[in-house]
Chain A
């Protein structure tokens, strides 16, 4: 079946079997492979994308459910060659190693800070506890997200830094 939605600000159309997950649709039909699939049962969070402002597991959502929605993936966070303040903070704090879980952590953190730019360390930890990372031990990730908060507070709610 044919579905239409907005992916990273551009209208897209995909002809997919009804059982196709949003993750598979984005990766294998729309060829945006930045979103990763780590467990296919909604636990690891690597596949997290932002659907109408909310961080969701794209492995647990069917592509057809995204009809008409605005979807943002890791590819949609940065413009051109530059890193966003959040991405730059990840690099500075060594908050990634293999980088496989990173797209889901970035989208989760972006959705959080967009809604709650003054989120406390405890709140950040709590929200990111839904994303598994096997390389870093998480401490650098929390440091990076804490540092990136200032970039979100400077802007209006919902505006992309």
Chain B
């Protein structure tokens, strides 16, 4: 294996703020997003969705829709069952199976019952999108309404069950365990319990989902375009559902307008559109509209927590214990368990907590199902923990920074194990957690600014808050790469990783160039996210691309260099050991004869290439601290973010610009969740915030003052780059940091925020309540 030292020695591209390769096409309107593609004879699909949150389907009458001009087909559960031996396929978990979850998986189309507003009931296929949408309104739906389970506490009563055959509305209880928390609490000199909650919000990428399915009847082959994130894993699901071999499906990734976790999972449409293409025998395109996106694409976050901390009187943490209910929506989708797992497993964050017990229940309700959104479960659990820490520190009369510093995992304890969860163990790999805390305090000028706490200046209360976090990245088990030396001496990089807007082509070009000891210009291109590129791939989730996909490139570059060495040896009639150098552009034999890589590639029958993978089940843990200075207007509840500082250590920085962009973008998304965004339902399970007029995402005027400092102090020992996943850290601590700043600002009133969001009406209400 090429090791870190080799790559570092080259080091000509890695670490430099190189301008992005992707930008040249994207800035000129030459990107190729899914709705930019067309095919001869292509038809368009529109989805008939339930407007009822919970009900029994009495009848679906498509006859009027079918009579409309330009309509080719209306596909319901009946058409699918008749083509699939009487079965409506369900959507499994994407990766690891979890026992007992199967009954709660979503069918690809509603049959017998609907369980949330937005659930697909039929697919209309027509000549163009407008005709398809017209025909959607002509499909008559007869649904007998059932009582709606509007939240987790209603779900817990079990009066109304989403799945009648099941004993309860609780799909799963996830336990995260370390040590013996109950005993530790029994003996603890001090404990404190708080009830805290995070509301429902989600990723909201600017490009909605979309798919284009092409069925080749003669060859019985399917091509599906518009995929991203996990094309190989989705192909596995689709092949099984459609009853064809994985090898007969090509998943093709193009330019993608953001994912942040929600886009690229296997949704009902990922079956319905390919099925429709096969059903009508023509290419079928579907582009989700924004209203559909609000009700169809995964939601996230919503969780209530009873969290308890046990400490000594000097503030040494003894144990953490929590009971959490997540509002999981109507089904457990592909990654629906992940947020709950993370709430449990990452509850201790960067702190040394010997005893942990978290029980997290996935409660089913008549809402859009949840999945992962950047920092899934981590955002929630960090809010719970960091909020409780401030309350505890105040109780014990200990400075809140000192309380954190005292309990951060010391570097001497690395690697440090987290609680085990669903049979999985993980450990923090490396880090000097106090260093990032101290750097954050220094950059923020904490000692000065903390004097502002609670001060009323020009009618506004000022406050500062701080929080520490870890970011788990690099989920395993493997990632694949294939490198091809072309006959012009350039190298093509094929990867199993996916690009959904994060600059993957650029950072992978940097890694490949350094791993091969060549300038970036000689990397012909990075080809990603399509199943034809490599034998086995996984994708872009859980902050894994640089670590897993990047390391795969390093590994395979080593193999390619060996192949080049071997080819040169054959050419010169010597042993591979007698090839003195192969760096850069030429292979040089010990006797001085040399040949260019280009010529070697052109002259080697079958070409020169290498394929392989990087395997690791050990996660990386970036870490850091954030601090915020806010001012609250007690007359309106409005909060201004005056300063925000983020310090993170990501082990190894490939491109400072793209890394900075990840952190900044994630922080602003987190601030959006804290202050602005919310997926609000009424008692009938209708989404009340189903447009950008109601669901407010941050704009350019909202948060202009954010400073990010990225470090590479402690490389990960678990991969040849020393890199750590760094796409999600920015969002993780935001809720706790801001809520702690609000508590500090309003300390004279005794306000303790225990719930997000901290929208103006909420904050105003907290102030009114505190004033009595």
Chain A contact residues, CB within 8 Å of chain B: 17, 19, 27, 32-41, 43-44, 46, 73-75, 77-78, 83, 87, 90-92, 94, 96-103, 106, 124-126, 128-142
The 6 closest A-B pairs by CB, nearest first: A34-B29, A98-B501, A99-B26, A100-B257, A137-B668, A74-B29
Quick check: A134 and B205 within 8 Å, CB to CB? yes
Quick check: A96 and B27 within 8 Å, CB to CB? yes
Q: State which residues 497-512 of B face A: CB under 8 Å.
A: 500-503
Cα of A137 to Cα of B661 in the assembled complex, Å: 8
Quick check: B28 and A83 within 8 Å, CB to CB? yes
* A43 proximity list for chain B (CB < 8 A): 691-693
* B82 proximity list for chain A (CB < 8 A): none
Q: State which residues 677-714 of B face A: CB under 8 Å.
A: 691-693, 697-701, 703-704, 706
Quick check: A135 and B665 within 8 Å, CB to CB? yes
Q: Given A37-B35, A44-B206 in contact, is the A98-B700 Cβ separation under 8 Å?
A: no
* B691 proximity list for chain A (CB < 8 A): 39, 41, 43
Quick check: B207 and A138 within 8 Å, CB to CB? no
Least CB separation from B664: chain A residue: A137
Assess whether B256 is interfacial by the CB under 8 Å rule: yes
Quick check: A138 and B661 within 8 Å, CB to CB? no
CB distance from A90 to the nearest CB of B (A): 6
Quick check: B19 and A131 within 8 Å, CB to CB? no
Q: State which residues 20-41 of B face A: CB under 8 Å.
A: 20, 22-24, 26-33, 35-36
Quick check: B697 and A142 within 8 Å, CB to CB? no
Quick check: A135 and B661 within 8 Å, CB to CB? yes
Least CB separation from B256: chain A residue: A98
Assess whether B258 is interfacial by the CB under 8 Å rule: yes
Quick check: A39 and B692 within 8 Å, CB to CB? yes
Quick check: A136 and B665 within 8 Å, CB to CB? yes
Least CB separation from A74: chain B residue: B29
* A140 proximity list for chain B (CB < 8 A): 661, 664
Q: Given A83-B24, A99-B31 in contact, is the A132-B699 Cβ separation under 8 Å?
A: yes
Interface of A is mostly: loop
Least CB separation from A80: chain B residue: B28
CB distance from B202 to the nearest CB of A (A): 11
Cα of A75 to Cα of B530 in the assembled complex, Å: 27
Offer 6 A-B interface pairs, CB within 8 angstroms, sorted by A.
A17-B130, A97-B502, A102-B26, A130-B699, A134-B204, A138-B704
CB distance from A138 to the nearest CB of B (A): 4
* A94 proximity list for chain B (CB < 8 A): 20, 657-658, 660-661
Assess whether B545 is interfacial by the CB under 8 Å rule: no
Which of A33, A90, A128, A135 is in CB contact (< 8 Å) with B23? A90
Least CB separation from B260: chain A residue: A134
CB distance from B547 to the nearest CB of A (A): 19
Which of A73, A97, A130 is in CB contact (< 8 Å) with B503? A97
Chain B contact residues, CB within 8 Å of chain A: 19-20, 22-24, 26-33, 35-36, 130, 203-208, 255-258, 260, 289-290, 500-503, 657-658, 660-661, 664-665, 667-669, 691-693, 697-701, 703-704, 706
Which of B31, B289, B661, B701 is in CB contact (< 8 Å) with A129? B701
Quick check: B206 and A98 within 8 Å, CB to CB? yes
Q: Given A75-B29, A103-B29, output 7 extra A-B contacts at Cβ < 8 Å.
A: A39-B691, A94-B657, A97-B258, A101-B257, A132-B206, A134-B206, A136-B664
Cα of A35 to Cα of B501 in the assembled complex, Å: 17
Cα of A33 to Cα of B173 in the assembled complex, Å: 47
Cα of A87 to Cα of B26 in the assembled complex, Å: 10
CB distance from B298 to the nearest CB of A (A): 15
CB distance from B262 to the nearest CB of A (A): 11
Quick check: A132 and B692 within 8 Å, CB to CB? yes
Q: Which residue of A46, A126, A134 has the most chain B CB atoms within 10 A of its CB atom?
A: A134
Quick check: B23 and A99 within 8 Å, CB to CB? yes
Quick check: B701 and A125 within 8 Å, CB to CB? yes
Quick check: B665 and A41 within 8 Å, CB to CB? no
Cα of A138 to Cα of B657 in the assembled complex, Å: 14
Quick check: A97 and B208 within 8 Å, CB to CB? no
Cα of A130 to Cα of B290 in the assembled complex, Å: 17
CB distance from B472 to the nearest CB of A (A): 22
Cα of A46 to Cα of B701 in the assembled complex, Å: 17
CB distance from A110 to the nearest CB of B (A): 12
* A37 proximity list for chain B (CB < 8 A): 35
Cα of A75 to Cα of B28 in the assembled complex, Å: 6
Which of A83, A96, A100, A124 is in CB contact (< 8 Å) with B207? A100
* B23 proximity list for chain A (CB < 8 A): 90-91, 96, 99
Q: Which residue of A19, A100, A126, A128 has the most chain B CB atoms within 10 A of its CB atom?
A: A100
* A75 proximity list for chain B (CB < 8 A): 28-30
Q: Given A27-B35, A131-B700 in contact, is the A40-B28 Cβ separation under 8 Å?
A: no
Quick check: B661 and A91 within 8 Å, CB to CB? no
* B700 proximity list for chain A (CB < 8 A): 124-125, 128-129, 131, 138, 141-142
Cα of A124 to Cα of B701 in the assembled complex, Å: 9
Q: Given A17-B130, A43-B691 in contact, is the A97-B29 Cβ separation under 8 Å?
A: no
CB distance from B42 to the nearest CB of A (A): 11
CB distance from A32 to the nearest CB of B (A): 7
Quick check: A38 and B290 within 8 Å, CB to CB? yes
CB distance from B498 to the nearest CB of A (A): 12
Which of A40, A74, A124, A137 is in CB contact (< 8 Å) with B665? A137
CB distance from A34 to the nearest CB of B (A): 2
Cα of A22 to Cα of B360 in the assembled complex, Å: 49
Least CB separation from A124: chain B residue: B700
Cα of A17 to Cα of B20 in the assembled complex, Å: 40
Q: Given A91-B23, A98-B257, A139-B704 in contact, is the A129-B699 Cβ separation under 8 Å?
A: yes
Quick check: A100 and B664 within 8 Å, CB to CB? no
CB distance from B417 to the nearest CB of A (A): 34
* B258 proximity list for chain A (CB < 8 A): 97-98, 100, 134-135
Quick check: B206 and A32 within 8 Å, CB to CB? no
Quick check: B207 and A90 within 8 Å, CB to CB? no
Least CB separation from A93: chain B residue: B657
Cα of A100 to Cα of B34 in the assembled complex, Å: 11
CB distance from B639 to the nearest CB of A (A): 18
